[in-house]
Structure 1
Amino acid sequence: MAQTEAQGGERRARGTVLTLEIWHPNCWTLEVTDAAPANLLAHSVYNATDGHVKGHFTVYGDSTDDIDELIDAAADSRLTHSVVEMQRRYAHDYGGTAPGNATRELFVEYDPTDTISDALASRGFIQEAPVRIRDGTEYWSVFVDDVDRDELHERLEEVRESHDADITVTKISSQDTVGDDIVDRVGLLSERQRDIFELACEHGYYDWPRGITTRELADEADISKTTLLEHLRQAEAKLLDPAIEEATDSL
């Protein structure tokens, strides 16, 4: 789960940004997103009483009913101590476009030992953006100082062993400097926008020359050409971020 946001204003020299898919046991966010149709963005965590922590989360989904179902599941979870709704919206507070068709803000109190945040942070993995939790999986974007791949592999293995975690590295990006404006923009997409964008990438829609026509892609997605273009337009507006150069290596 998210512990802190990226350190504001600081610019770091050469390093590596990893995109991680994580599952680990005894985590309320993984359990409720696996059971309910809505998803979560984890922003920041604050110390609470009795050794607990309170996390700030955005719940997002296709409908308010989906969000209600997730909130009920969170409140009923054996792994949470309290769930409080906030009268704020993600788009207003964070200056971005709200993910999904409906959103709600939560403060949730829980036991910090049931999270993986400290295990990552103590090994030099700095959270770069809100953690996206979807369908029982956490999606992290983390920065680590310039170390060789063997060292990265060793650190990840330590996290896996300490929390009995499944961790998959899905993307490695290298860059000379990393600012505080980098976000995990994929987390801002609705489920449908993400599906259509990934389908377009899979079929070479953004290749040169283009691997599939707009009409063919719309037929593949079983939607109209107009609807396809609208989904792609919205996804592209949220994803546009030229700062990261993707590397092809993996751990």
Structure 2
Amino acid sequence: MSESSAELLQVTVDVWHPDCWGIVSTDRTGTGIVGHGAAIDGDSGYERCTLYGDTTDQLEQAIAVADELSFIRTIHPFESAADAIRPVMGQSTQDVFIEYDANEGIGSAVLSHGFVLDSSYRIEDGIETWTLLVYTTRSSVERSLDEIRRARDADISLEHLSTAERTMAPTSPPDRRERRLTPRQREALAVARRRGYYEWPRRVSAGDLATDLGVSKSTYLEHLRKAEAELLGRHPFDD
């Protein structure tokens, strides 16, 4: 691969593969998962995730399903310090730390091909959605995905592929109206800007952004619309 032909790419894939605790758990219980990171140490894989659902009973069922799977070594529910700043808007959530057999998970195969998780991944209705960064050629992306498909007997659908690099724009002090936003409104707006919600065509849906934050679509849109109204000049006498 020549250096001149390589570029920083953003890749979004939908994935199904056997022996995945998250796919089995969400499919059986109707919960969702937001994954925040993974690590590999020898034959053990580790993940830090947030489960979300309608009730705490549903979350307990999801944890019980995962705990019964042969390829899960340990699962530890815990209270994260991030809970103090992560908005929990209308849904029950539970953070968990998972240890599993890395030979059964798809994370090790993805990481070994140079892909890096961009923000978080999500699992709903038995399907994983990953947004990844990789520095390579576009043709190499599909070859790498083919190798992962064969290695993990996986179904992988390439949903999005684009250049991730952007020209840096000069920064400016926040607008007076933006300083008046609540933390939840500010986060809703920031993730929409970062993920390409305002680009044309849109790179991501409001439902996807809501899932990334572990909230319902209606709740996410409520905070986003209030932020937009503030920035678009709901107060006509502001300068």
Return the TM-score normalized by structure 2: 0.66
Q: Which residue of 2 aligns with 1:87?
A: 79
Structure-2 separation of matches of 1:178 and 1:124: 24
CA RMSD in angstroms comes to 3.1
Q: How does 1:162-173 map to 2 (within 5 A)?
A: 162-173=151-162
- Following superposition, the deviation at residue 137 of structure 1 comes to 1.0
Partners of 2:18 and 2:96 in 1: CA distance: 22
8 Å CA contact retained: 2:34, 2:122: yes
Superposition deviation, residue 177 in structure 1: 4.3
**1:131 to 2:121 alignment:** yes
Match of 2:144 among 142, 155, 158: 155
Q: 2:134 aligns with which of 131, 144, 156?
A: 144
In the alignment, does 2:212 pair up with 1:188?
Answer: yes
Cα deviation 1:177-223 (Å, max 9, x = unaligned): 499x9678453355741xx6xxxxxxxxxxxxxxxxxxxxxxxxxxx
Identity, in percent, stands at 25
Measure, in 2, the Cα distance between the counterparts of 1:116 and 1:145.
20
What corresponds to 1:75 in structure 2? 67
Larger Cα-atom Rg: 2
SS of aligned partner of 1:157 = helix
Q: Distance in 1 between matches of 2:148 and 2:167?
A: 24
Which residue of structure 2 aligns with residue 121 of structure 1? 111
SS of residue matched to 1:113: coil
Which ranges in structure 1 are unaligned for 5 or more consecutive residues? 1-12, 197-229, 239-251
TM-score normalised by the chain length of structure 1: 0.63
- Of 29, 39, 44, the residue aligned with 2:37 is 44
The question of whether the paired residues in 1 share the 8 Å contact of 2:43 and 2:103 is answered with no
**Residue 23 of structure 2 corresponds to which residue in structure 1?**
30
* Counterpart AA for 1:117: G
CA contact 1:79–1:110 (8 Å) conserved in 2: yes
Aligned residue pairs, count = 186
Match of 1:15 in 2: 8
SS at match of 1:41: strand
